[in-house]
A = this chain, B = another copy of it.
Amino acid sequence: MKKIAVLTSGGDAPGMNAAVRAVVRKAIYEGLEVAGVFNGYQGLIEGKIELLQLGSVGDIIQRGGTMLRSARSEEFRTIEGREKAMKQLKLNGIEGLVVIGGDGSFRGALELTELGCPCVCVPATIDNDINGTQFTIGFDTALNTVIDAIDKIRDTATSHERTFIIEVMGRNAGDLALWSGLAGGAETILIPEEKYELPAIIERLKSGTGRGKRHSIIVVAEGVMSAAELAERLKVEAGIETRISVLGHIQRGGSPSARDRVIASQYGAKAVEVLKEGRGGLAIGMRNHVVVNYDLKDVFEKPNVFDVEMYKLSRELSI
């Protein structure tokens, strides 16, 4: 293998730039040429491809977003689109591709691998919802953004003795809500993986007030219900007044945390190592503190593992 490329796809996550940087630097260290594909798979189809140098990735490790940009591509979902992509890869002499993104992006990588271009995937999404890896790039930064918001809201909650409901991202995965709720000292955490019972929540809120607790914070993953809906139900069913805060897109941005920069560096370098050996159809990830590569198909076929212990801990500490 003489030349590889790298692209970012799907929702952006802090640390994507650090991963791009690692891919480029490791590739050059290994004597490979490396190109950047701009605007994700759509850019690949359109041939938005540029050779990258060490200097191309200077001063980006600390930046949020992705210098390669990202985009949706309806065209890539068609076989014609993917063949155009393959043509561009050949035209540019690219023999392997690193795809940085979430599981939607990984599907594309699997298909390109099957069409003959070995792809290796680097998991980057703030939701931490990719099967086979315990950590995705961006999760740690998003977590810190969420607890910063919780800390700010606690100032008002304490001063006014109020209950706040904070809605965080996570349609199918509750990791962001669970970890941030635990780290933010939330009294109640609602996640898609665990059933909630409204009467029990109401009971907790009331017993807290009973023993003189001045404020309460509830963290809810958007996949369970919206903060507005929960507020409405607490009001209707128990007469409890709450304030809501929907954190929204700020969770996606910001300078990556130290940890996200470190795992982005590890994942990016590992992806090049694997690709250099001519292997494709693989994902990179972290398992029990070790950087591993595993079959891309596992991402789609195996169930995501939920950390029940941590949920139990969050319950015990919020008595």
Contacts and interface: CB of A to CB of B under 8 A. Distances in A.
A164 B249 contact: yes
A131 interface: no
Contact of A71 (B147, B161, B248): B161
- Of the candidates A247, A248, A288, A290, the one having the most CB atoms from chain B within 10 angstroms of its own CB is A248
A183 B159 CA distance: 22
Interface stretch (A83-91, A231-239, A250-258, A277-285): A250-258
Contacts of A313: 265-266, 269
A211 B149 CA distance: 36
B156 A65 contact: yes
A179 interface: yes
Given A182-B261, A258-B179, A62 B155 contact: no
A68 to B, nearest CB: 8
Contacts of A310: 262, 266
Interface residues of A, number: 84
A149 B22 contact: no
Number of copies: 4
Given A245-B250, A249-B153, A266-B313, A143 B70 contact: no
Contacts of A59: 154, 158, 185
A113 B59 CA distance: 36
Contact of A180 (B8, B18, B258): B258
Contacts of A156: 11-12, 64-65, 249, 252-253
A195 interface: no
Contacts of A255: 151
Contact of A253 (B146, B152, B257, B269): B152
8 contacts: A16-B159, A29-B317, A54-B211, A62-B154, A65-B156, A69-B158, A71-B160, A245-B248
